[in-house]
A and B are shown apart, each in its own frame.
Chain A
Amino acid sequence: MFDKMTLQVLANHARAAAENMAHTLHRTAHSAFVKETQDFTVMLMDRAGDTFAVPMDLGATWYPGLTYGRAIDMIGDYRPGDVAFTNDPYSGHVATHAPDTHLWKPVFVGDDIVAWTGGHIHNTDMGGAVPASLSRSLTEIHQEGIRFPPMKLVNEGVFDEQILRIMTTNVRKPELNIGDIKALVGALNTGERKVLAMVDRFGKQGFVSGVAALLDQAEAQARDILRAIPDGEWVFADYADEDSDNANPCRLKLTLRISGDEAILDFTGSDPQLASSLNVPSGGDPRHTILLVGIYYVLYTLNPKILLNTGLTRPFTCIAPEGTVLNPVAPAAVGMRSLTCARLRSVIFGAFSQAVPDRMPAAPAGNNCIVNVMTRNERTQKTVIAAVNPVVGGGGGMPHRDGTNGSGADAAYLKNTPIEITETEVPVEFVKYGLAQDSGGPGRWRGGLATQMAFRVFAPDSRITARNRDRSFFRPWGTLGGKAAGLSDMVVNPGTAEERRLGNIDTAVLQPGDVLDIRSAGGGGRGNPMEREPWRVAQDVARGHVSLASAERDYGVVIRDGLVDEAATHALRAKAAHPEGHFHYGPERDGYEAQWTAAAYDRLTDILTALPIHWRFFTKTEIFRRIGDRTGAAGVEAAFAETCARFPELPRPAPVAEAAE
């Protein structure tokens, strides 16, 4: 048993090893995805493949609770110097879309494996139907690039050239993939060296028992947090705007049950798996890291000293029924799961916002839109493909502070590219890059403002993709009297006769001189905006964050010549109605849910669950097509009846019998 008093010493050595791996990878990688976007992770794992240490400075935030155990077990006979890998979302459930290539390496002491080092890189392209291997429109995993189930990539220090040749043959930028993979292998080797140094420092038994103590420590910290939350059940649902191209909303529903120091996250009631690439392949693992990313944020926010490792996942059990968007079966496409994951985090934030209202912020903007441009440089006559800035929105209003403007909360890891660099390399000209007025949800603490970016192109048929766009219909919600935030939007040539509003569409073709204006959603407000200090509202107006009209309408603050008119403000605020309810969703969702009530969704879920998986998305779409003006469970029932009439082939379940069981 490791001496708990000095556990922090081991924790620091483990963290140092993980930081070392991250810096090694970041320093030696080839692609912008790894070097600039930092879409990578590295970790140290115990003998079972459970992560016990991750870096805190570099990389993405998704995998501190990842377990490699299933993938590790799919290969036998590990030898010193071996490195295994996979990018297949359906083998071992380590990779969650094909571009993410995960590697792992055993660390031997004598004949024993004492630990594993591992990590992932997002490859620029893995082949398949579209460049970069990602498109919402793809319908099955086979279109999303070549897949490697778990297998050895390096045998006793020697790369398997056949695998590298197969990859080179199948992907669009093989030199980037292989450069990055070799850099990751270098990082795993660094990690191995550091683990061996820890074995020297703490002894083999000390190291192994210390690693177990680190996992136990994180678990104990997580359980302490849960124990401090009253027992109870909280239900929350949120929507992605569309479940495929130009289609219906995708709903995620969470029932959070906290009892003592344990929690159940029951996602039953979430939509069926989709015929687009928005599915999240969790494999039904009750503690899959991709289902728990929102939990990491909640726990870290409630206790910033928490150790981030697999131990903190132990008190949690997720229920994600098979054949749903959070547990699709092969060959469902999964490439764009990031969009759904953002919504998955919001349902977790929404449930915890009810469980610990004093300590949670309102909704973050939740649309981490990545903008790519393909255009032609008229001077060099070359086609240029480049990532422009991410367009992300603000954080939600916090308990004692406004939401962070422009990004924040669960989007804090994203980095932008200087306008000067982009304009030098890509023939585009920016018109605006800044914050959007009135986009933050009004509140006692205002939501963070949205980002607005507009640029002009010069060449014909310039193609823009704006991946992960969402929140153009369902607003980031406000809490405790705070209001929902502004919506995202994408507009061609705003304010001109040729204005085209693209709504939630994530691609655009531009002609010379066209301006594309992309705007994210904002963060939700927290607390009653009528209680915000008038001086703060006046300051917001002076800073252009809030308009005069919004100051009066949303905050009840009258400002004349830059100064608060106390009497008029008092009068206005006296008339204001007191906000009701924990959440404020905005008129769009309120209108939608007038038809699509909770009961309607319960009925829909029952109907779809009773169908074979490959009938579910089709049937959902048909019910939406037919529901018309009808509302509630009866409306769903009637639309389903029409669907059954039109498609006699539809395997009729026995819903009554089902319900009776």
Chain B
Amino acid sequence: MDATPQRDKGATADWKIGVDIGGTFMDFCALETTSGRVASLKVLTTPDDPGAELLTGLQLLAEREGLDPTTVSRFVHGTTVGINTIIQRKGADLALITNAGFEDVIELARLRMPDMYSLFCHRPDPLIPRDRIFGIPARLRADGTETTAPDLTTLAEAVARIRAQGLQGVIVSFLHSWRDGAQEAAVKAEIERLAPDLFVFTSAEVWPVIREYERTSTAILNGYVHPRVSGYLEALEARLAGQGVPARAMLTKSNGGLMNAAEGRRDCVSMLLSGTASGVIGAAWLARQAGETKILTLDIGGTSADFALIVDGQAQYGTGELIGEFPLYIPSVSVSSIGIGGGSIASVDAQGVLRVGPESAGSNPGPACYGRGGTRATVTDAMAVCGWLGHTAMAYGQLSMDVDLARQAVGVLAEQLGRGLEETAQAILDIAVSEMFVEVEKLASRAGVDLREFTLMPFGGGGPMLGAFLARELGLAKVMAPRRPGVVSALGGLVADLRGDFIRTIYADLDDAALSSLRQGFEALAEEGAAWLRVQGHAGAAELKLSADMRYAGQSFEIEVELQPDWLSDRAEIERAFHETHRRIYDFDDPAGRIEVVNLRLSAIGAGPALDMPEAEETGGRAQALRQVPIYLGSPQEIALYDRTSLTSGARFEGPAVVVQEDTTFAIPAGTEAQIDRHLNIHLSFAE
């Protein structure tokens, strides 16, 4: 109860709350804007009653911080309900209506599959099995002319079978609907007439991009999660209203922006990467605040580690992000993932080589040291054996740690290897870090960036444990550990803008004739964007970001080039921008080459309220260690243990050290200097 007593809370209070729900915890980041006070907390999730943890969290905020729900002016929510529906394959029973002759579009996908050296390699089973896919005579040509109108008799037969099978919804996807969605719309209208109880999504209304597999797959993901996401959001809004929260709930999107919850009930596909994307947005915001421009984020959970690049303070975007086993083709914040986390299991192979992962103890039973029945050594157990963990309770006191259990688990491997216990634990950590090293190196080479210019920002419960070691392996000079690493995603929601993405496929040579279709396209997209912002309830200024996917004729994939609307009358400007972008990404350009414009894209952005986080007064001086603790760092040593709450602005200390706080432990290797900034971030720099 450290609420600021001089204020009459309730009367002038104005709370903004960001909430992010993950596998184990629901994270809250709450800001009271009149006092500038920030509160964060974690509540265990209640899988049996999703949404109940929200009430628990609001209650705790009321008790601890004096929050009055009627003073919440902004409520932003990120949720994994959509992605979990896909991973657990618990989504809607859907049918797909497509062109006759092309019913296998989602099974064939793009043919190529992962694990290509295995004779057992296979693609994931499609979300719609083939017996629920109905081809009907209908054909549009690439230029938009209709050669065969949709056959409504066949359609009626298909609808009858769909109803007989008891399916919930229908996806309609026809070839070339990127050019003209009218065929799909007509079929949708007919299905709704024949079977008003079925929900219907067309591929063009979900995301009208050229490439039939990608467009169809995106529309299916939308329909697949629709009933669950819709039900979840409805319940969420009801619960908030029940608490007297006046703000309409907003949702974080895969594109790092926001939309209102009502929109999310139809545009489900936009929120599939809700939490991971807002983590990057939160990290970017923290980085800008601390004056850092190039960041590699690292978020380690129980079963995986996520990485993203932030360049010039901005998250990077891509398409084709994997949702479980399926690629998603709407613009999303780029996040790479690898199946190595705190719960990854270490083992010794037949040749006596130590391995880590891909098997994971997950959160249940979890690492041996959690005392929940896990017996196999995990990365977290290795951290505990080396002495980094076990000094305080973890996760706001909700997890306790039994180091002896970790020693037993790692001991089994040490015996197999004939090596010392700590030595084995250190090797597990080195291997886990090297697995992440591979993934980050791939990310950097795909993006064509020099990692040495980047600062690593670890967050999540596990990021700060291994972050500094990974940074050293990658040759990064700096690490920045935010004050509240557990709620970066929740914070990301708080600081995000409304953002709607719109696309129009042009697919034409960039010549003077194309300019007029570009201008028309831009006008239509701008109108759509403005209308979207209005529906979100946005009254302020709108920013319209225009870009085009372009390529040299003959290339098989496009690059996104940022454009200014006034360039749409000036071909030379567009060409210049394309050549420049091409050179930046691919190291060469071809000024004489013919250019094609494939898509025109527009992002409509409605800026959220500016947030000022409080800055601490600089006090400086050497940080005071709480005590010395024994750590294994190649050899046993005594190193300083710091309490994060006692690290004030300007304080300094040297590694090796360990910093404990209620939601994570920051492990700091030797040869480093740490300094605390005015936002209480720890900045670590490696000597040399």
Contact = CB atoms under 8 A, between A and B. Distances in A.
Given A224-B350, A361-B120, A5 B112 contact: no
25 contacts: A5-B354, A5-B417, A19-B442, A24-B445, A27-B585, A32-B554, A190-B445, A220-B351, A221-B351, A224-B350, A298-B119, A395-B119, A404-B113, A406-B108, A406-B111, A416-B108, A416-B110, A416-B111, A420-B175, A423-B142, A424-B142, A432-B101, A434-B104, A543-B131, A544-B103
Interface stretch (A9-17, A97-105, A598-606): A9-17
Given A35-B555, A435-B107, 19 more contacts: A5-B419, A8-B353, A8-B356, A32-B554, A300-B118, A301-B119, A304-B118, A305-B355, A349-B119, A395-B121, A396-B119, A404-B122, A407-B108, A418-B211, A420-B178, A424-B507, A431-B101, A432-B101, A434-B102
B130 A543 contact: yes
B2 interface: no
Interface in B425-474: 427, 430-431, 434-435, 437-438, 441-442, 444-446, 448, 473
A433 to B, nearest CB: 6
Contact of A36 (B104, B122, B448, B556): B556
B430 A6 contact: yes
B41 to A, nearest CB: 37
A421 interface: yes
Contacts of A305: 349, 355
A429 interface: yes
Contacts of A360: 119
A418 B587 contact: no
A16 B351 contact: no
Nearest to A200: B475
A433 B556 CA distance: 20
A408 B211 contact: no
Interface in A292-318: 296-298, 300-301, 304-305, 308
A14 B424 CA distance: 22
B129 interface: yes
A568 interface: no
Contact of A16 (B119, B355, B441, B585): B441
A401 B122 contact: yes
Closest 8 CB pairs of A and B: A434-B104, A543-B130, A12-B434, A23-B445, A16-B441, A432-B101, A300-B117, A415-B112
A395 B119 CA distance: 8
Contacts of B435: 12
B431 A9 contact: yes
A13 B556 contact: no
B183 to A, nearest CB: 14
A264 interface: no
A422 to B, nearest CB: 9
A417 B556 contact: yes
B351 A413 contact: no
Given A224-B351, A300-B118, A404-B123, A16 B142 contact: no
Contacts of B101: 430-434, 454
Nearest to B103: A434
A9 B449 CA distance: 23
B648 to A, nearest CB: 36
A166 interface: no
Contacts of A361: 119-120
Interface of B: 101-105, 107-108, 110-113, 115-123, 129-131, 141-142, 175-176, 178, 210-214, 349-356, 417, 419, 424, 427, 430-431, 434-435, 437-438, 441-442, 444-446, 448, 473, 475, 507, 554-557, 585-588
Contacts of A342: none
Q: Which of B105, B142, B176 has the most CB of A within 10 A?
A: B142
A308 B437 CA distance: 19
A420 B585 contact: no
A488 interface: no
A9 B430 contact: yes
A651 interface: no
A542 B113 contact: no
Given A19-B442, A392-B111, A404-B113, A542 B119 contact: no
A5 B585 contact: no
A435 B430 contact: no
Contacts of B211: 418, 420-421
Contacts of A197: 475
Contacts of B111: 390, 392, 406-407, 414-416
A5 B353 contact: yes
B447 to A, nearest CB: 9
A12 B437 contact: yes
Nearest to A424: B142
Interface in A509-550: 539, 542-545
Interface in A414-457: 414-421, 423-424, 429-435, 451, 454
A23 B352 CA distance: 32
B175 A419 contact: yes
A395 B122 contact: yes
A544 B130 CA distance: 8
Nearest to B122: A404
A398 B112 contact: no
Contacts of A432: 101-102
A61 interface: yes
Nearest to A395: B119
A486 interface: no
A5 B424 contact: yes
B591 to A, nearest CB: 13
A28 interface: yes
Contacts of A304: 115, 118
A13 B554 CA distance: 35
A13 B424 contact: no
Contacts of A186: 587
B350 A418 contact: no
A504 to B, nearest CB: 23
Given A12-B437, A35-B555, A224-B350, A6 B431 contact: yes
A410 interface: yes
A30 B110 CA distance: 21
B380 to A, nearest CB: 19
Contacts of B122: 395, 401, 404, 408
A406 B354 contact: no
B438 A16 contact: yes
A406 B106 CA distance: 12
A330 to B, nearest CB: 32
B115 to A, nearest CB: 7
B513 to A, nearest CB: 13
B141 A423 contact: yes
Interface string A328-358: 0000000000000000000001000000000
Contact of B213 (A8, A364, A414, A418): A418
A4 B351 contact: yes
A296 B118 CA distance: 9
A15 B555 CA distance: 28
A378 interface: no
Contact of A20 (B129, B130, B441): B441
Most buried by B among A12, A308, A392: A12
A539 B125 CA distance: 14
A405 interface: yes
A621 to B, nearest CB: 35
Contacts of A451: 108
B142 A420 contact: yes
Contact of B445 (A6, A20, A296, A395): A20
A421 B554 CA distance: 11
A407 B121 CA distance: 10
Which of B119, B142, B349 counts the most A-chain CB atoms under 10 A from its CB? B119
A5 B210 CA distance: 50
Interface string A471-495: 0000000000000000000000000
A297 B446 contact: no
Nearest to A14: B438
Interface in A1-50: 4-9, 12-13, 15-17, 19-20, 23-24, 27-28, 30, 32, 35-36
A221 B331 CA distance: 43
